[in-house]
């Protein structure tokens, strides 16, 4: 007898499996393989009155849908019996409209990829978020050396406020962004309310613009009344500004720079202030940011897991000050909405009345694997009723409507209308 049989031999495939080198059945590559998923009956007894497979057949990557209406006829099997009873099922699948039991196969969807043979749903929702105008103040100082400093007590949350305030000041002062320094967040600086309600651009932006224009106009007043300047005696409307220089519109070579003007008058800097109060709008207007959210979801029929496959948002936030930072905020908002729809939940302990997950250790948030390709676009149209910039906030409109769009997509995929968040597997199973 072989001495190996009966010996405690180590598993010959053990190392391959624990190191990830083993090949499992599903990992063998088969050329031109198709994938399929089953649609099963949710009732125990009944009859299929109608089947509409048109939407599934038109979905990208779907090769076909097989039902009792187009399946090949398969003869019933003869029962294999024994003293213990029948050993196998004799009825073949997809052979008629009669439902005999819950879980009976009623359709087979065949697709090029496994993901395409999962449940697919499309959903959309509208979005509307009020645009608030709150008190804000700012100063802008033009310094010799063609530089400027803008100050405000407004808070920067990482949303790009330093950048957009630089751009607003740049346009008003006629300086390049690299020549401008923005200082925010210090209570020693001009008053501004906190960054909330998507109010920063709508409120702080106009204050910065007013401050920059006030500083610019002070320097312009000096030059128009300076007999040593080639611009002396002309009216404000005759003068333009670019690259830190005033010039005559009808004679562009006649120029005066900020630096030359300040040096000639012995000034290190000239400062202007800007202030906006509570912003009101005409009684017949309501100032909101608007949008529309579109998503595609895939739902795992067996596990009830919902995955967002792609997402798109289109928004009207008035004039877009910075296309890059606005797009980033919108994409971030859509990611927030994915978390709101599928993951995030604040649970209260029934006995102690306190939050069960008070920190991120037990609070679910979207990670990279949860986030699909996301696109965001803007109408970029000035709103004349908002402020001098025509710009509304972009901070919160991105998240608005995402959860509703996902819930609608889940309903489209499954026929289940879920009205509470998050949409969990147990709600779908």
Q: Residues 116-141, buried b or exposed e (16+ Cβ, 10 A)?
A: bbbbbbbbebebebebbbbbbbbbbb
In terms of phi and psi (left: phi > 0; alpha: psi -120 to 50; beta: otherwise), the region of 61 is left
Return the pLDDT at 133: 83
- Across 7-27, average pLDDT: 86
Burial zone of 99 (CB within 10 Å; 0-12 exposed, 13-18 middle, 19+ buried): middle
Where are the CATH 3.90.1170.50 domain residues in the chain?
A: 33-73+94-117
Q: Give the confidence band of 286 by pLDDT, cuts at 50, 70, 90.
A: confident
Query: CATH code for 136-276?
Result: 3.30.365.10
Q: According to the model, what pLDDT value does residue 2 have?
A: 62
Instruction: Find the length of the chain.
Output: 429
Question: Does residue 1 have a pLDDT over 60?
Answer: no
19/89 Cα distance (integer angstroms): 41
Q: What was the pLDDT predicted at 282?
A: 64
Mean pLDDT in residue range 151-162: 88
Domain 33-73+94-117 has CATH 3.90.1170.50: yes
CATH 3.30.365.10 boundaries in the chain: 123-130+287-428, 136-276
Distance CA(128)–CA(196), nearest Å, equals 16
User: Distance between CA 396 and CA 129 in Å, rounded?
Assistant: 7
Q: What integer pLDDT is reported at residue 281 of this predicted model?
A: 65
- Percentage of the chain beyond pLDDT 90 is 60
Give alpha helix (H) positions in 28-176. Answer: 54-58, 161-173
As a whole number, mean pLDDT of residues 338-354 equals: 93
CATH of 123-130+287-428, picked from 1.10.3720.10, 3.40.710.10, 3.30.365.10, 3.40.50.2300, is 3.30.365.10
Confidence at residue 86, expressed as pLDDT on a 0 to 100 scale: 58
With 80 as the cut, is the pLDDT of residue 88 above it? no
27-72 pLDDT per residue, tens: 888 888 898 888 888 899 999 999 999 988 888 889 999 999 999 9
Q: Look at the pTM and tell me if it is higher than 0.85.
A: no
Report the pLDDT value the prediction gives residue 280, as an integer from 0 to 100.
Answer: 65
pLDDT digits (tens, 9 = 90+) for 384-401: 888 889 899 888 999 999
């Amino acid at each position: 007898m072989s001495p190996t049989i009966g010996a405690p031999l180590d598993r010959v495939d053990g190392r391959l499996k624990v190191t990830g080198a083993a090949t499992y059945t599903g990992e063998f590559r088969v050329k031109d393989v198709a994938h399929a998923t089953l649609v099963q009956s949710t009732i125990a007894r009944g009859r299929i009155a109608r089947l509409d497979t048109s939407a599934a057949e038109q979905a990208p990557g779907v090769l076909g849908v097989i039902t009792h209406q187009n399946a090949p006829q398969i003869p019933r099997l003869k029962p294999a019996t024994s003293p213990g009873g029948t050993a196998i099922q004799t009825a073949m699948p997809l052979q008629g409209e009669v439902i005999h039991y819950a879980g009976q196969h009623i359709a087979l969807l065949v697709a090029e990829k496994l993901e395409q043979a999962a449940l697919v749903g499309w959903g959309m929702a509208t979005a509307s978020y009020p645009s608030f105008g709150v008190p804000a103040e700012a100063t802008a100082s033009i310094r010799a050396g063609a530089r400027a400093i803008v100050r405000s007590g407004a808070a920067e949350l990482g949303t790009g406020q330093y950048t957009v305030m630089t751009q607003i000041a740049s346009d008003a002062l006629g300086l390049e962004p690299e020549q401008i320094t923005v200082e925010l967040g210090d209570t020693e600086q001009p008053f501004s309310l906190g960054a909330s309600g998507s109010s920063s651009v709508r409120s702080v932006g106009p204050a910065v613009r007013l401050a920059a224009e006030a500083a610019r106009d002070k320097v312009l007043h000096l030059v128009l009344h300076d007999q040593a300047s080639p611009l002396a005696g002309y009216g404000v409307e005759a003068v333009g500004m670019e690259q830190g220089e005033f010039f005559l519109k009808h004679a562009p070579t006649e120029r005066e720079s900020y630096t030359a003007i300040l040096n000639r008058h012995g000034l290190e800097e000239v400062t202007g202030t800007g202030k906006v109060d509570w912003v009101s709008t005409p009684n017949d207007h309501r100032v909101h940011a608007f949008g529309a959210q579109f998503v595609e979801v895939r739902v795992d029929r067996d596990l009830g897991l919902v995955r967002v496959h792609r997402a798109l948002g289109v928004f009207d936030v008035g004039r877009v000050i910075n296309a890059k930072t606005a797009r980033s905020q919108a994409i971030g908002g859509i990611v927030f909405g994915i978390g709101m729809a599928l993951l995030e939940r604040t649970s209260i302990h029934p006995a102690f009345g306190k939050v069960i997950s008070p920190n991120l250790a037990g609070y679910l948030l979207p990670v990279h694997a949860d986030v699909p390709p996301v696109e965001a676009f803007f109408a970029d149209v000035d709103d004349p009723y908002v402020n001098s910039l025509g710009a509304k906030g972009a901070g919160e409109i991105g998240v608005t409507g995402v959860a509703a769009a996902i819930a609608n997509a889940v309903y489209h995929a499954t026929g289940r209308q879920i009205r509470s968040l998050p949409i969990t597997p147990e709600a779908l199973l």
